[in-house]
């Protein structure tokens, strides 16, 4: 248990009509008793895990600051594991700050960012991967990302790492015990064991690492490049998707010279849309730079929207782009359908792309919903399902998993080469420790401070 009692505003200021001031620590109860009154002005009795209605008053006076719903959660069965008091008041900045000030006047101290979750961790209420998932949850820009982060709060990543560690420990124990035996065949059995079990564990670590890619996608948005030769309507399509005017739309080919990025929330999935300069052969130096950048963002993209102008005959640039994107995850879009689609253009495109061509008009908005459906399908079926979404290691964890993998591989190399068992044991122990850091077991104080300072205030 920490000595002092902390308080903070737990909801983002200005969001929603209700705000929460959260208090955690030994004084939470006495602070609640000092600050909350019944509507008729009598002291309010706090009831365990029960919502109570009352008035928050300035300590020492009976001037009501606001109406409040009071939630009392005595430790250890609370978020932090300590006594927790939550005051739900009206969400205005002024009200929230005056209620927080009242808590501080009644004896609490202002919480540092992430301090509530740090206490939860220190009191054994969650492992480090769960705590970090809380950070991601707070930061998750959209529902889908939030849902994925939630699964990690439930602890699957931690469970899998713990299970791998358990096997590593058993393996290490096997090796350590064998060190004292002089017989060679006993040593050989241990080495063989390191090789077979090691192989399995490497596979499981790899799977955890693969899951990080999805986590990143969800945090940063699915990188989606809109490509096509100049004037097919890429910027207009971006605007139609954004449903607001952002990119410059002109009649002069080659004006979108730089890559413009916009984030959209497509039915709960974050997309990082990149409007690229039109890709075509050109003598203009400035435009060439734009073309280089476009190719770069096309190469980085997880999804390509390849746009054609259905009202025009196809050009060499259209041909070239089709070939260039053929191996990428792409959706072919035929724009300007409002002007009618040319037969030859349609036949050519459908000859190349058997299914899934989306006809739309960026100008009228017709077909935009169908494109959104396609994008969601591709992401859910091809991007998200590639990986088991329930683990989602973050960048720090991925690094540690890589280190654990190196240690385990070197233990296996030593075993294969018939090196001394001591050497193998040391490598196994190191792999065990790296995995421990990933879930916060054996974590040093510095690391904890580093991690928890990334939190928003009040969490």
Tokens (6 digits) for 392: 């989602």
> Which residues, 6 or more positions from 411, have their beta carbon under 8 angstroms from its beta carbon?
194, 198, 424, 427, 428, 431
Angle formed by the axes of helices 445-452 and 115-122, nearest 10°:
140
Q: Which stretch binds ligand GDP (CB under 6 A): 13-21, 29-37, 345-353, 357-365?
A: 357-365
DSSP letter at 46 equals P
Nearer to Zn ion, 231 or 414 (CB): 231
Q: How far apart are CA 231 and CA 351, in angstroms?
A: 23
| Cα(456)–Cα(353) distance, integer angstroms | 47
| Geometric angle at alpha carbon 265, from 264 and 268, rounded to 5° | 165
Looking from the CA of 302 toward its CB, the CA atoms found within 13 Å total: 21
50: which residues sit within 8 A by CB, 6+ positions away? 71, 72
> Which is closer to ligand GDP, CB of 293 or CB of 363?
363
224 binds Zn ion (CB under 5 A): no
- For residue 166, say whether it is annotated as part of any ligand binding site: no
Q: Which residues inside 312-341 make contact with ligand GDP, applying CB under 6 A? A: 335-336, 338-339
Contact set for ligand GDP, span 248-287 (CB under 6 A): 249-251, 256, 278
Report how far residue 277's alpha carbon sits from residue 234's, in angstroms, rounded to the nearest whole number.
9
3-state secondary structure at position 130: helix
Q: What is the total count of residues that contact Zn ion (CB under 5 A)?
A: 3
Q: Which is nearer to ligand GDP, 234 or 330 (CB)?
A: 234
Q: Please count the helices (runs of H) and the strands (runs of E) in the chain.
A: 15, 13
Interaction of residue 294 with ligand GDP, rule CB under 6 A: no
Among 362, 400, 411, 415, binds ligand GDP (CB under 6 A): 362
Rule CB under 5 A: is residue 231 a binding residue for Zn ion? no
Closest to 275 (Cα-Cα) out of 317, 324, 225, 230: 225
**Rounded least distance, CB 294 to ligand GDP, Å:** 11
Among 123, 235, 294, 410, binds ligand GDP (CB under 6 A): 235
228 binds ligand GDP (CB under 6 A): yes
- Decide if residue 130 touches ligand GDP (CB under 6 A): no
Residue number, 89 or 247, with CB nearest to ligand GDP: 247
Are 171 and 197 in contact by the 8 Å Cβ rule? The answer is: yes
Which of 78, 178, 211, 231 contacts ligand GDP by CB under 6 A? 231
Judged by CB under 6 A, which of 236, 297, 345, 398 binds ligand GDP? Answer: 236
Nearer to ligand GDP among residue 119 and residue 272 (C-beta): 272
Residue list, annotated binding site for Mg(2+):
235, 256
The binding site for ligand GDP (CB under 6 A) comprises 228, 230-236, 249-251, 256, 278, 335-336, 338-339, 361-363
Which residues carry a binding-site annotation for (6S)-5-formyl-5,6,7,8-tetrahydrofolate?
22, 86, 125, 459
Contacts to Zn ion by CB under 5 A: 234-235, 256
């Amino acid at each position: 248990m920490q000595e002092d009692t902390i308080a903070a505003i737990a909801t983002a200021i200005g969001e929603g009509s209700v705000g929460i001031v959260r208090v955690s620590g030994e004084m939470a109860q006495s602070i609640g008793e000092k600050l909350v009154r019944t509507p008729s002005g009598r002291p309010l009795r706090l009831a365990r895990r029960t919502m109570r209605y009352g008035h928050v008053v300035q300590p020492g006076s009976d001037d009501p600051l606001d109406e409040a719903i009071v939630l009392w959660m005595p430790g250890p069965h609370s978020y932090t594991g300590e006594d927790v008091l939550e005051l739900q008041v009206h969400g205005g900045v002024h009200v929230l700050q005056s209620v927080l000030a009242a808590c501080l006047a009644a004896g609490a101290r202002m919480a540092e960012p992430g301090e509530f979750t740090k206490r939860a961790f220190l009191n054994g209420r969650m492992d480090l991967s769960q705590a970090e998932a809380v950070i991601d949850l707070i930061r998750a820009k959209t529902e889908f990302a939030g849902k994925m982060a939630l699964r990690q709060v439930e602890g699957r990543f931690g469970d899998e790492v713990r299970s791998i560690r358990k096997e590593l420990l058993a393996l290490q124990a096997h090796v350590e015990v064998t060190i004292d035996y002089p017989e060679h065949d006993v040593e050989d059995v241990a080495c063989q064991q390191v090789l077979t079990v090691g192989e399995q564990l490497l596979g499981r670590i790899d799977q955890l690492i693969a899951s990080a890619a999805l986590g990143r996608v969800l945090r940063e948005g699915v990188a989606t490049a809109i490509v096509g030769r100049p004037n097919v309507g890429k910027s207009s399509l971006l605007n139609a998707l954004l449903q607001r005017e952002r990119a410059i739309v002109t009649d002069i080919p080659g004006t979108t010279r730089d890559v413009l990025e916009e984030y959209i929330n497509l039915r709960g999935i974050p997309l990082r849309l990149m409007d690229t300069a039109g890709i075509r052969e050109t003598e203009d130096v400035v435009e060439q730079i734009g073309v280089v950048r476009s190719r770069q963002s096309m190469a980085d993209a997880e999804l390509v929207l390849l746009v054609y102008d259905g009202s025009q005959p196809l050009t060499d640039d259209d041909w070239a782009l089709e070939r260039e994107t053929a191996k990428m995850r792409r959706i072919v879009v035929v724009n300007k359908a409002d002007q009618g689609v040319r037969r030859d253009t349609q036949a050519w495109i459908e000859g190349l792309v058997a299914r899934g061509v989306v006809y739309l008009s960026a100008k009228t908005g017709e077909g935009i919903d169908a494109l959104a459906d396609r994008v969601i399908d591709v992401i859910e079926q091809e991007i998200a399902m590639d990986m088991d979404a329930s683990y989602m290691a973050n960048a720090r964890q991925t690094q540690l998993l890589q280190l654990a993998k190196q240690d385990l591989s070197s233990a296996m190399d030593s075993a294969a080469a018939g090196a001394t068992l001591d050497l193998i044991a040391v490598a196994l122990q190191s792999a065990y420790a790296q995995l421990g850091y990933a879930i916060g077991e054996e974590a040093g104080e510095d690391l904890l401070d580093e991690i928890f300072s990334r939190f928003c205030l009040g969490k």
